[in-house]
Structure 1
Amino acid sequence: MIGEMDADSVVGYFRGKSILITGSTGFLGKVLVEKILRVQPDVKKLFLLIRAPDAESAKLRIQTEIIDREIFHVLKEKHGVRFNNFIEEKICPLVGDIIYENFGLDNAQLGELSKDIDVIVNGAATTNFFERYDVAFDVNVLGVKHICAFATKCPKLRMLLHVSTAYVAGEQEGIIPEKPILMGETIKVGTHLDIESELNLIKETMQELKASCSMEKAGRKTMKELGLKRARNFGWPNTYVFTKAMGEMMMELLPMDFPVVIIRPSIITSTFKEPLHGWMEGIKTIDSVVIGYAKQTLPFFLVDLDLIMDVTSSLRNPAPYAILWKSLFRYFNDNPPCTGRNGERVRLKKMRFFSSIMWFRLYMAFKYMLPLEMLRLVNIALCGVFSRVYNELSRKFRFMMQLSELYAPYTLFKGCFDDMNLDKLRMAMKKDNQNNNGAYYFDFDPKYIDWEDYFYSVHIPGVLKYTRD
């Protein structure tokens, strides 16, 4: 049962708290760190677990990869000349990695840290769909296990929050309820997942690669293919969501002596209102369309425009992909990109969309595969004159087909995420104190978002400003 609360009570919760945050150098991690420091300057300490060889290197990473980013400009203006002192006082770098037991900390460090922590936020993850199986397993599965083990050693712990992904649901259709993933549960009927067996399989494969003296490139390819094979064997589309699902299963190992929260973000886009409009880092799934259209290098895209784009719950103010395309077309007609060699504005071409993988494959076969096959035959007849050209074009074709296979589960996703738990939280928030005269902002109701205006006025300009070369 969620009790009634307001923005002041949310902010007050963090006063005097020590918080361990993993994944702070990632997009969501930066947003979280900035938000806490901005709305609650009386937080006791933010311990940021950073992969680095030593403390100085960790401190440098925090400075260059977190504090120096544009999202901290508002906080810098707020504190002025005291900003650096404020950061020094509130942020504590921890050299470590969740892939190791106790994060690689020595007993003294571990003891001191465990006594001080009130809240743990685990945002560390590898989000590469086609990641090596061993790497993804280390971070997304064993990393969660190590977080859980540490949590049990913290006598003051008030909450453990784990960031997962909505797509642990796989490629289900219809209404997808919010429910825990049970240990061993899979999506594919007739299969059962044993995490220990998966770990042993990884170890055996690595030993075989070592015994056969495989080249690093070949080993990397083998481990990537193994991850995809195992994911699809159990019903998940890629290694990322498969290992994130196993990570959620690891949460079952925790004794319920404190609240455990799992949040499942769907598609990540730019910041909506604060601290900056449209701030983001990295090119996310839908942003490749924005960049490609701006450069006029993306003539087609695999997406059903009538399907819901999961930038929020599909049940509350849904946003179909057609809204993104409409906003995109309108934005670049109003603001034509300069893509010519001499900076001249070029005529925008219409993008072709494919609403099924079958039609996409047919198009690719006639448009690209057939000419490639003709080039291959000509190359054979001319004793390999066009070998370099053929190999390069063939590589690009295979890469494009691989990308389509990886992204199709998202751009052709036919599920709708239920957000009953989030709705209960929304109802618990007092609407009369969401903004607190501009001091902080906690209104997270998508019902009030005009998606077309957001994409046109906020997100597309943000993509072009913060991610374009």
Structure 2
Amino acid sequence: MELTGIVNSLEYKSILVTGAAGFLAKIFVEKVLRVQPNVKKLYLLLRAADAESATQRLHKEVIGKEVFRVLREKCGASLDSFIADKVTAVAGDIACDNLGIEASDLREEMWKEIDIIVNLAATTNFDERYDVSLGVNAMGAKYVLSFAKRCVKLQMLLHVSTAYVAGEQAGLIMEKPFRMGETLNGTPGLDIEEELKLVEEKMKELRALGAPKSAETFAMKELGINRARFYGWPNTYVFTKSLGEMLIGQSRGNLPLVIIRPTIITSTYREPFPGWVEGMRTIDSLGVGYGKGRITCFLGDPESIIDVIPGDMVVNAMIVAMVAHANQHGEFIYQVGSSVRNPAKFTLFQDYGYQFFSKNPCIDKDGKPIKVGKVAVFSTMDSFHKYMAIRYMLPLKALQLLNIVSCQYFQSLYSNLSRKINFVMRLVELYRPYLFFRGVFDDLNLEKLRIAIKDNGEEENKFCFDTKCIDWDDYFLNIHLPGLIRYVFK
């Protein structure tokens, strides 16, 4: 594979970005505008009632964010006119036909102009309502593909998934596509249409019973988790992302398709500046809970590898793959992570948290610094339950029964302790598959991209996605955790 002129390849291109208000999408949009000001047009799909609302969201939730600081400084007073010329806010909804774009003239323009589609829209909650997760992560991917097929000059559909569609596999996990109906545990009968019918029937049942909104949400979340686990996936998020991959893989025809599977995405490593992060990334929930004194113990395998990847490296890999496979009629899978080239063990994260928050304590509601201690880590669920029972002087049976389903029962028995304990137990329940994860993600395809770009030193540096260059001690103590404090804790 020969790969040169990445920046030039973006010149005069029209690109549709779905999920444009998301963390990764902002990094992508900023990067394209900064390195290639001669991009023709970025169409940013935003959930909104109309064009005016979409434009307001664009300026408030995308361009107005800190990640655009460098571009803002570069453009100065001309930023607004530059954005007006290069960016079009599109009111729509990925979970609808034609992406919910009601303005017919804009739809026609997009079908004529778009060269590349980057699908970043997703709901990433592990225990999202099943109807919502199916609508966005699975059917949304199908609607994006249908829209792509109407774009007369389309060169590429790039779909961002997650490496954890692999479920809880151990060993070397290959970069291979999913096929329709394939399940992780071999259970037959997976049919997306049947899953949609199941949701519809459950909703009819709940409405017939007059169930309140809270009960409906609870039932939909439970349905999603149960269906995911029935077929071998640990949660609703990764299950529905797998279904999305199946749908576009089956129906793409000869459309060039790249599927990017990032691992756990963290703050920017280098661009547009180090440490920018937005919202709670997966492992940050643990860091925040620990820094605020809410977590004093946790569960995990000290020898397991936590595969993390900075957001800007994911975006660099996306852009390089996008350029490399434009107009190539195939399906290409890229797992973007660090577990093969530069693995970081679970034990390191314990040390980082203690080192950082000991020197940079959070402040409690009374204005006093919160002291943190070493976290007790338990390598089995039984040892964790025993510790929690002893610490809070509770019947062991209550803790052994505690899971997402029994939280309400537990709260009624132990209301004075429920908030603190449920916080820890909920994190344990949701993140357990990743804290005992025994797989590493093969990145041979990504290595081929690295080799292809290596001959061009300037662009290799501009679009770096080689995790071997990361010193994890420096990254977490001097970049990621300070960024978390600055941009999330504020």
TM-score (norm 1): 0.91
Q: Which residue of 2 aligns with 1:90?
A: 86
Matched, 1:458 2:483: no
In structure 2, the residue corresponding to 1:112 is in which secondary structure? helix
User: Which residue, 2, 17, 35 being the options, matches 1:21?
Assistant: 17
Q: Which residue of 2 aligns with 1:168?
A: 165
Q: Which residue of 1 aligns with 2:448?
A: 424
Equivalences for 1:74-85 in 2 at 5 Å?
A: 74-85=70-81
Question: 1:67 is matched by which residue type in structure 2?
Answer: I
Q: Which residue of 2 aligns with 1:4?
A: 2
In structure 2, the residue corresponding to 1:268 is in which secondary structure? strand
Superposition RMSD in Å:
2.1
In structure 1, the residue corresponding to 2:264 is in which secondary structure? coil
How many pairs were matched up? 449
Q: 1:203 to 1:407 in 2, by over 3 A?
A: same
CA offsets 1:348-368 (integer angstroms, 9 cap, x no match): 321111223232223223333
Q: Which stretch of structure 1 is more off in the superposition, 124-133 or 360-369?
A: 360-369
Aligned 8 A contact 1:301 1:351 in 2 = yes
Q: Which residue of 1 aligns with 2:363?
A: 339
Q: Which residue of 1 aligns with 2:464?
A: 443
In structure 2, the residue corresponding to 1:337 is in which secondary structure? coil
In structure 2, the residue corresponding to 1:434 is in which secondary structure? helix
Q: Which residue of 2 aligns with 1:138?
A: 135
Aligned 8 A contact 1:98 1:139 in 2 = yes
Q: Which residue of 2 aligns with 1:382?
A: none
Per the TM alignment, residue 388 of structure 1 is displaced from its structure 2 partner at its CA by 7.8
Q: Which residue of 1 aligns with 2:457?
A: 433
User: Which residue, 235, 258, 263 being the options, matches 2:260?
Assistant: 263
Q: 1:88 to 1:341 in 2, by over 3 A?
A: closer
Q: Which stretch of structure 1 is more off in the superposition, 55-64 or 356-365?
A: 356-365
Q: Which residue of 1 aligns with 2:431?
A: 407
Q: Which has the greater radius of gyration?
A: 1
Q: 1:133 to 1:109 in 2, by over 3 A?
A: same
Q: Distance in 1 between matches of 2:303 and 2:444?
A: 24
Q: 1:432 to 1:14 in 2, by over 3 A?
A: closer
Q: Percent identity?
A: 50
Equivalences for 1:83-232 in 2 at 5 Å?
A: 83-106=79-102, 107-232=104-229
Q: Which stretch of structure 1 is more off in the superposition, 444-453 or 358-367?
A: 358-367
In structure 1, the residue corresponding to 2:88 is in which secondary structure? strand
Aligned 8 A contact 1:289 1:301 in 2 = no
Q: Which stretch of structure 1 is more off in the superposition, 55-64 or 306-315?
A: 306-315
Q: Which stretch of structure 1 is more off in the superposition, 226-235 or 208-217?
A: 208-217
Q: Which stretch of structure 1 is more off in the superposition, 273-282 or 324-333?
A: 324-333
Q: Which residue of 1 aligns with 2:349?
A: 324
In structure 2, the residue corresponding to 1:466 is in which secondary structure? helix
Q: Which stretch of structure 1 is more off in the superposition, 397-406 or 202-211?
A: 397-406
Q: Which residue of 1 aligns with 2:246?
A: 249
User: Which residue, 278, 282, 289 being the options, matches 1:281?
Assistant: 278
Q: Which residue of 2 aligns with 1:72?
A: 68
User: Which runs of 5 or more residues in structure 2 are unaligned?
Assistant: 309-336, 399-410
Aligned 8 A contact 2:6 2:459 in 1 = no
Aligned 8 A contact 1:357 1:408 in 2 = no
Q: Which residue of 1 aligns with 2:394?
A: 370
Q: 1:230 to 1:349 in 2, by over 3 A?
A: same
Question: 1:442 is matched by which residue type in structure 2?
Answer: F
Q: Which residue of 2 aligns with 1:313?
A: 338
Q: Distance in 1 between matches of 2:242 and 2:393?
A: 36
Question: 1:230 is matched by which residue type in structure 2?
Answer: R
Per the TM alignment, residue 94 of structure 1 is displaced from its structure 2 partner at its CA by 0.8
User: Which residue, 411, 414, 423 being the options, matches 1:390?
Assistant: 414
Matched, 1:361 2:391: no
Aligned 8 A contact 1:158 1:259 in 2 = yes
Question: 1:330 is matched by which residue type in structure 2?
Answer: Q
Q: Distance in 2 between matches of 1:343 and 1:212?
A: 48
Question: 1:46 is matched by which residue type in structure 2?
Answer: L
Aligned 8 A contact 1:148 1:253 in 2 = no
Q: Distance in 1 between matches of 2:459 and 2:448?
A: 19
In structure 2, the residue corresponding to 1:353 is in which secondary structure? strand
Q: Distance in 2 between matches of 1:226 and 1:340?
A: 38
Q: Distance in 2 between matches of 1:130 and 1:310?
A: 21
Per the TM alignment, residue 332 of structure 1 is displaced from its structure 2 partner at its CA by 3.2
Per the TM alignment, residue 279 of structure 1 is displaced from its structure 2 partner at its CA by 0.3
CA offsets 1:366-396 (integer angstroms, 9 cap, x no match): 333726999xxxxxxxxxxxx9883353465
User: Which residue, 300, 303, 311 being the options, matches 2:300?
Assistant: 303
Per the TM alignment, residue 91 of structure 1 is displaced from its structure 2 partner at its CA by 0.6
Aligned 8 A contact 1:266 1:310 in 2 = yes
Per the TM alignment, residue 435 of structure 1 is displaced from its structure 2 partner at its CA by 5.3
Matched, 1:43 2:65: no
Q: Distance in 1 between matches of 2:422 and 2:352?
A: 31
Q: Distance in 2 between matches of 1:10 and 1:26?
A: 24
Aligned 8 A contact 2:307 2:344 in 1 = yes
Q: Distance in 2 between matches of 1:240 and 1:342?
A: 38
Q: Which residue of 2 aligns with 1:351?
A: 375
Q: Which stretch of structure 1 is more off in the superposition, 126-135 or 398-407?
A: 398-407
Q: Distance in 1 between matches of 2:413 and 2:485?
A: 32
Q: Distance in 2 between matches of 1:237 and 1:136?
A: 14
Q: Distance in 2 between matches of 1:306 and 1:92?
A: 47
Q: Which stretch of structure 1 is more off in the superposition, 86-95 or 403-412?
A: 403-412
